[in-house]
């Protein structure tokens, strides 16, 4: 899955001492944009796949998401549609897992 490649690059970039602050910011912005671009395709996936995107989305820095959406306004629709389609299911799954 594409998200894991981006996530691996994202995480490994912080382990390298040769990466500048602007490169890290660039990588985080690119990763955020790629994630938001992929959201519409998730309607065809089952829960075990799209939930990974949801977890990553909810753990991301809101400032990066907002900045990317400001530069690419169409991605706001992608995120909105994704949350409308899967938000309730995600909350339901969290409740089931933690209210045992």
What tens digit of pLDDT does each residue of 35-51 get? Answer: 888 876 766 667 777 77
Name residues whose C-beta falls within 8 Å of residue 98's C-beta, 6 or more positions apart in sequence: none
Structure confidence at residue 12 (pLDDT): 61
Per residue in 34-73, is it b (16+ CB within 10 Å) or e — as a string? ebbebbeebeeeeeeebbbbbebbeebeeebbebbbeeee
What is the C-alpha to C-alpha distance for residues 38 and 79, in angstroms, rounded to an integer?
10
Structure tokens at 84: 């409308």
pLDDT digits (tens, 9 = 90+) for 49-62: 777 777 777 777 78
19 phi and psi angles, rounded to 5 deg: -90, 125
Structure tokens at 56: 């990553």
Contact 13, 24 (CB under 8 A): yes
User: Mean of the per-residue pLDDT values for the chain?
Assistant: 76
Contact 29, 64 (CB under 8 A): yes
pTM above 0.75, yes or no: no
């Amino acid at each position: 899955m594409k998200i894991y490649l981006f996530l691996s690059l994202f995480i490994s970039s912080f382990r390298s001492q040769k990466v500048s602050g602007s490169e890290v910011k660039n990588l985080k912005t690119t990763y955020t944009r790629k994630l938001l671009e992929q959201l519409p395709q998730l309607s065809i996936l089952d829960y075990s796949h799209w939930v990974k995107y949801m977890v990553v989305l909810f753990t991301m820095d809101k400032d990066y998401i907002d900045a990317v959406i400001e530069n690419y306004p169409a991605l706001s629709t992608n995120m909105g549609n994704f949350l409308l389609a899967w938000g309730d299911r995600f909350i339901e799954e969290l409740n089931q897992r933690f209210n045992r």
